[in-house]
Chain A
């Protein structure tokens, strides 16, 4: 009978990352190679941060997740959510095809994991009382950042870091426990943060917050498939990757529109702001990353060398 692969993710059915997974599943089914992909969405199987471990041990076949979630297992992955490393979506696409990504894929191979679909999503800042564009804007604000490197950078800018689940941002903003937050465009919309903030700084021509969120498969599982099945998966993934890039670009503008429609002020980060943040990041998160990861400097240089 047909081989069945189990894919787990945390997103809802109308999320772009679910659509990418669904597209691969549909294409593979259409290829008629006795291969089925069964999708377990909306964290119905594993919690978001608990997908990588079973994936690397072959207990789960596939997943779509922010790779930085597994930064505790492979510290190098922290480079996939590093402030200022990616400038925009086209730059992100070039990174995905660079020697930097090859180096990361080597790390993944150590964990018996490989990439099928590359993709980056962007995010921005939201402020309860004011706009956040430059580093000095977060001084003294209780801030919730998505990701370790962002926490380090924001702390360097004088923000106070409050760690909480993204699902708690809404209430924390409402009661005033939190004054600023930084997360992905889609999370800002799905948690209706626009009801609680006065200003939103979406990803635009430049954006600080880019997160690598690939579709992964267990390597041994993949190698155990027949040649036709592997080819079908590859073809489907290629198609999905193109779609992912297109949709990722639309996402930022869509989130800005939702916020604007809700009467929230929209601010833009200028190139100077971006450079200021990046300088700060070099002194904080980059520095700490290099100190923590043995081949960190080499990986960082590889990433920075991508034009």
Chain B
């Protein structure tokens, strides 16, 4: 039944690379939390402007949306490190040690591949938006490469954390799926 709340963060052992990635992911988590707090503040500011001062609210909705997207994407590596992304671990739980290890290797490699794809095309999309000078079609007119930057950054950091998890698995610093031996 592990995998969500009960499981501890991914283990790093004394490996410097693993610890570096863990620190980076934690930093990303702080940034993500800060962006969520900023969204609370901006939304409340918007309500005050509109309801109390009857003023115009031009940029707030858009700013909050982009902050939430960035909070999500930049928060990915941190949640991965905390093993906070839910999974169905029925099959891994029921497998013997060796098979569980092999399954963990396969799922790790698949995860790394798909996130690498997201990083690659996410970077390309971000770059395209910057080259073309795309802006949002609002009065505020945000240069879109700024919010889009969260795609390569978020997936890049997630990829790093996934690679670190894979290394931890291979060198035995962490157990397959973070599960205790049955």
Give the interface of A toward B (CB within 8 A).
49, 57, 68-73, 75, 78, 140, 142, 148, 151-152, 155, 159-164, 177
A161 engages B54 (CB within 8 Å): no
Q: How many A-B residue pairs have CB under 8 A?
A: 52
B54 engages A140 (CB within 8 Å): yes
Give the shortest distance, in Å, between A305 (CB) and chain B (any CB). Answer: 26
Task: Report A-chain residues with C-beta under 8 Å of the C-beta of B137.
Answer: 49, 68-72, 78, 148
B58 engages A142 (CB within 8 Å): no
- Ordered by A's residue number, 14 sampled pairs between the chains whose C-beta atoms are within 8 Å are A71-B137, A72-B134, A72-B138, A73-B132, A73-B134, A75-B135, A142-B50, A148-B137, A151-B139, A160-B57, A161-B57, A161-B58, A163-B62, A163-B138
Give the docked Cα–Cα distance between A72 and B56 (Å): 21
Give the docked Cα–Cα distance between A162 and B51 (Å): 11
Q: Which of A49, A70, A148 has the most CB of B within 10 A?
A: A148
Find residues 30-58 in chain B having any chain A CB closer than 8 Å to their own CB. Answer: 50-51, 54-58
6 additional contacts (CB under 8 A) given A140-B54, A142-B50, A163-B138: A49-B137, A68-B137, A69-B137, A161-B139, A163-B57, A163-B62
A162 engages B132 (CB within 8 Å): no
Give the docked Cα–Cα distance between A151 and B56 (Å): 10
Given A49-B137, A71-B137, A142-B50, does the pair A155, B132 have CB atoms closer than 8 Å?
no
Task: Report A-chain residues with C-beta under 8 Å of the C-beta of B135.
Answer: 72-73, 75
Give the docked Cα–Cα distance between A28 and B136 (Å): 35
Q: Which of A68, A155, A161, A162 has the most CB of B within 10 A?
A: A162
Give the interface of B toward A (CB within 8 A).
50-51, 54-58, 60-62, 128, 132, 134-139, 141, 144
Task: Report A-chain residues with C-beta under 8 Å of the C-beta of B136.
Answer: 72
Name B57's closest neighbour in chain A (CB-CB).
A162
A163 engages B58 (CB within 8 Å): yes
B50 engages A162 (CB within 8 Å): yes
Shortest Cβ-Cβ A-B pairs, 8 listed: A72-B137, A71-B137, A161-B56, A72-B135, A160-B56, A163-B61, A72-B136, A151-B139
Name A78's closest neighbour in chain B (CB-CB).
B137
Contact with A151, one of B50, B54, B58, B60 (Cβ below 8 angstroms): B58
B50 engages A160 (CB within 8 Å): yes
Task: Report B-chain residues with C-beta under 8 Å of the C-beta of A78.
Answer: 137
Task: Report A-chain residues with C-beta under 8 Å of the C-beta of B134.
Answer: 72-73
Give the docked Cα–Cα distance between A159 and B139 (Å): 15
B54 engages A72 (CB within 8 Å): no
B141 engages A72 (CB within 8 Å): yes
